[in-house]
Amino acid sequence: MTVQGSRQTLLVTGASGFIGRHVVAALAARGHKVIALCRHAKSAGRAVADARIDWRSCDLLRPDDVERVVKETEARTLIHLAWDVKPGYWHSDANLEWLEASLRLVRAFRAAGGRRVVSAGTCAEYDWTDPDIVLKPIAERRARFAPLTPYAASKRAFHMALERYAPIAGLSAAWGLVFFPYGEAERPERLVPQVTRALLAGRRPETTEGRQIRDFLDVRDAGAAFAALATSDVEGPVNIASGEGVAVRRVIELIRAAAPSAEIAFGALPARPRDPHRLVADVRRLTEEVGFRSRIPLEDGIRDAVAWWRAHG
Q: Which residues bind a second copy (CB under 8 A)?
A: 63, 91-93, 95-97, 99-100, 103-104, 106-107, 144, 147-150, 152-154, 156-158, 160-161, 163-165, 168-169
- Closer of 119 and 154 to a second copy (Cβ): 154
Pair 141, 134: CB distance under 8 Å: no
- Closer of 143 and 286 to a second copy (Cβ): 143
- Closer of 29 and 96 to a second copy (Cβ): 96
User: Rounded to the nearest whole angstrom, what is the least distance from the CB of residue 120 to a second copy in the complex?
Assistant: 17
Q: Classify 243 as helix, strand or coil.
A: coil
User: Rounded to the nearest whole angstrom, what is the least distance from the CB of residue 74 to a second copy in the complex?
Assistant: 22
E-strand stretches of 103-252: 116-122, 172-178, 180-182, 206-207, 213-218, 236-240, 245-247
DSSP per position, 251-298: HHHHHHHHS-SS--EETSSPP-TTS-SEE-B--HIIIIII-----S-H
| φ, ψ dihedrals at 113, nearest 5° | 100, 10
User: Rounded to the nearest whole angstrom, what is the least distance from the CB of residue 175 to a second copy in the complex?
Assistant: 13
- Closer of 62 and 203 to a second copy (Cβ): 62
Rounded-to-integer distance, Cα 131 and Cα 181, Å = 24
Rounded-to-integer distance, Cα 286 and Cα 281, Å = 10
Pair 224, 27: CB distance under 8 Å: no
236 forms beta bridges with 174
User: Rounded to the nearest whole angstrom, what is the least distance from the CB of residue 159 to a second copy in the complex?
Assistant: 9
- Closer of 19 and 106 to a second copy (Cβ): 106
User: Rounded to the nearest whole angstrom, what is the least distance from the CB of residue 155 to a second copy in the complex?
Assistant: 9
Give the HSE-up count for residue 258: Cα atoms under 13 Å, Cβ half-sphere: 24
DSSP per position, 120-132: EEEGGGB-TT-TH
Q: How far apart are the first and last CA of the chain?
A: 42
- Closer of 117 and 255 to a second copy (Cβ): 117
User: Rounded to the nearest whole angstrom, what is the least distance from the CB of residue 12 to a second copy in the complex?
Assistant: 21
- Closer of 145 and 216 to a second copy (Cβ): 145
> Does residue 244 come out as left (phi exceeding 0), alpha (psi in the -120 to 50 range) or beta?
beta
User: Rounded to the nearest whole angstrom, what is the least distance from the CB of residue 152 to a second copy in the complex?
Assistant: 8
- Closer of 154 and 294 to a second copy (Cβ): 154
Pair 83, 98: CB distance under 8 Å: yes
User: Rounded to the nearest whole angstrom, what is the least distance from the CB of residue 134 to a second copy in the complex?
Assistant: 20
Rounded-to-integer distance, Cα 153 and Cα 211, Å = 27
- Closer of 78 and 99 to a second copy (Cβ): 99
- What is the CB neighbour count within 10 angstroms for residue 153? 18
User: Rounded to the nearest whole angstrom, what is the least distance from the CB of residue 158 to a second copy in the complex?
Assistant: 7
